[in-house]
Structure 1
Amino acid sequence: MNDSRERRAEGETFVARVIGLNPTSWPDRRSRKVTLARVTESSILLSAMRKHRKRNVAILAGLLTVLAVKFAWPERQPSYQGRPLTYWLNVKNNDDDDAVRDAPQFEEAIRAMGTNCLPCLVRCIAYEPTAWKNKLINVSVRLQWSPESFQEDRDLRLAAGAVAAFKVLGPRASPVISQLVKLVKERSRKASAERAAYVLTSFGLEAQAIVVDMLDDPRPLIRQGAIFRVREFGTNALPAIPKLIAILNGSDDFCAMMAAQTLGELQLRPDLCIPALTNALQSGRFEVAQEAHRSLGQFGLVFPDPQDVRSRVLMKNRQP
């Protein structure tokens, strides 16, 4: 027993000397235990900080490796005035001096490169940020000494520029409609599917049937874009009427409001639309009822304004 105590005391004395403490400053055993406990806590905290620092350095090293590979093997792409397509996509959403200077030439550059842009534009549109890349960017933002270029997702900027480029090309980009439809139909996609759907709505007659099909998409932003574009189809929107009525009766109030507006602007199939709008007018959803009231007016029908009805009900309930 005495040998065990002596070895423990020798160990404590050794630890104290290693970390620079004077063992003679311990007045009793309790002080010694408190001091050693604090030393242990400090050691654990220091170890955790070192591990955290190593992790950040490893993540940043991974980011640098990805960037090095990307710059070492750049993809082949068309150019205009000696600058590659990605430069022109980047100037569309950039406040750098060069970008501000060249932004007015964006449309001219895209038109000049023409259909040669399409493969690169589809790749940019299809970009989906990964979880690990978001973590890398978040770490870079926290590291004040990291360059600004590491603190943003440049591919997101290129994707936005690609959407603008598709708008410039218009029907000239029709050869990639099938690829864009494939992106939209992949339900696992989020931002890229929304971008592809937005581009498809701008193709005109060639993509009208595709836009009508997008009314059945469960993703709200894709469905909203399709509803908005269908109102421009005129009589070609007849196949969309049953789908719009289904959306009007659905649980998404915002999409239902948009559907009511579109039905009123199209003024097609009154035999179907008027009963559906009348039911929406009498539903308990006030905002949807307001849009249904306006659309019924476009069909030439007069009903009490839901706002007036609501006000009268409120006033009646306030009376003693």
Structure 2
Amino acid sequence: MPLLACCQPPFRYLAVVSKRTGILILLCLSILGLLTCLSLSQREPTYQGKGITFWLDQYFEVDYGNIPTYGNFPTVPTKSPAKQFELKKQARLAIQAIGTNALPALLKMTAATDSALKLKMMGMVSRQHAVNFGLKEDWYYHNLSRTGFQILGPAAGPAIPALTNLLYDAEPDVRDTALFNLGSIGPQADEAIQTVAKHCVEDEEFSCLYNLETLVSVQKQPRFFIPLLINKLRKPQTNITIYKVAIIALGQYGPDASSAVPEITRFLTNQIPSLASAASNALKQINPAAAQASVK
């Protein structure tokens, strides 16, 4: 055999190895996708033969469109407003019919966290479009849980202890989702929400901003939260976004936040345009006369 022939790389062998490696990767990804689906759908409650995830997904997609999965996936055509209304109504009735039986699944979705292995696999899958592995990121499950708790409302009261425990989870997104879901339950969850609100006002860490933003949307008990938000404005903050979020929150309380007018007024002359604008808008919501006077 010629010397050069011996030195040539075995391209056929490399092609076989490459093909085998690709098949192995696809197999591993398929197994991971299957395990992810099974972990979330195991013993999942159903209505009319379809699981809670199906109904949550149907409701969620009407508002936000088709949720991308890693790999190839079909595009859902835009539906007419009448059809969208019907789909949401159907999903809402299904979720309400499942009721508290949905709580274990909703809590699992609330606590969903992408492992390092899953993130690595999703990165690999995103480079191909031949197979749809059905892998979805944790934020997708967090949003499904928010949808579920919003629909169930006070009926989800039995989940309060578990959601309260998740307020101390290591992942900020999990804590934020748990807080939002507590707010959706209603007055039953006020004690847990007040506890985290006090912690949030005292905490100077950036991660607490997640909780403060969610408290804006939850908007519980003005008499309790308004003084806490005012104190947030009085304290020196290394992250100016905290000021902005607190100002926006106070503005959404409207006239109930009149005691915050002096503190908010200080920010009208702030050199940072976004803070000055937030203060101006908040004053218009709280006290239009004061806002008009400040312009003069």
TM-score scaled by structure 1?
A: 0.66
Distance change in 2, residues 1:106/1:266 (3 Å): same
Alignment-derived partner of residue 120 in structure 2: 135
Contact 2:182 2:193 in 1 (8 A): yes
Alignment match of 2:110 (pick from 115, 119, 125): 125
Alignment match of 2:98 (pick from 95, 113, 117): 113
Alignment-derived partner of residue 173 in structure 2: 191
Alignment match of 1:280 (pick from 258, 267, 272): 267
Say yes or no: does 1:227 pair with 2:216.
yes
Distance in 2 between residues matched to 1:80 and 1:121, nearest whole Å: 15
Structure with larger RCO (C-alpha < 8 A, sep 6+)? 2
Contact 1:197 1:222 in 2 (8 A): yes
Distance in 1 between residues matched to 2:178 and 2:230, nearest whole Å: 24
Alignment-derived partner of residue 21 in structure 1: none
Distance in 1 between residues matched to 2:21 and 2:108, nearest whole Å: 31
Provide the aligned C-alpha RMSD in A.
3.7
Alignment-derived partner of residue 60 in structure 1: 26
Say yes or no: does 1:88 pair with 2:55.
yes
Task: Return the offset for 1:164.
Answer: 0.8
Distance in 2 between residues matched to 1:44 and 1:254, nearest whole Å: 59
Alignment-derived partner of residue 186 in structure 2: 204
**156-165 or 76-85, which moves further after superposition?**
156-165
Contact 1:140 1:151 in 2 (8 A): no
> Percent of aligned pairs with the same residue?
20
Task: Return the offset for 1:105.
Answer: 1.1
Task: Return the offset for 1:122.
Answer: 0.3
Q: Which amino acid aligns with 2:178?
A: A
Contact 2:155 2:185 in 1 (8 A): no
Would you say how many aligned residue pairs link Structure 1 and Structure 2? 264
Alignment-derived partner of residue 233 in structure 2: 245
Distance in 2 between residues matched to 1:80 and 1:107, nearest whole Å: 11
TM-score scaled by structure 2?
A: 0.71
Contact 1:141 1:151 in 2 (8 A): no
Contact 1:138 1:151 in 2 (8 A): no
Say yes or no: does 1:15 pair with 2:34.
no
Say yes or no: does 1:165 pair with 2:141.
no
**69-78 or 158-167, which moves further after superposition?**
69-78
Alignment-derived partner of residue 80 in structure 2: none
Give structure 1 stretches of 5+ with no counterpart. 1-12, 19-35, 309-320
Alignment-derived partner of residue 75 in structure 1: 42
Q: Which one has the largest radius of gyration?
A: 1
Contact 2:176 2:211 in 1 (8 A): yes
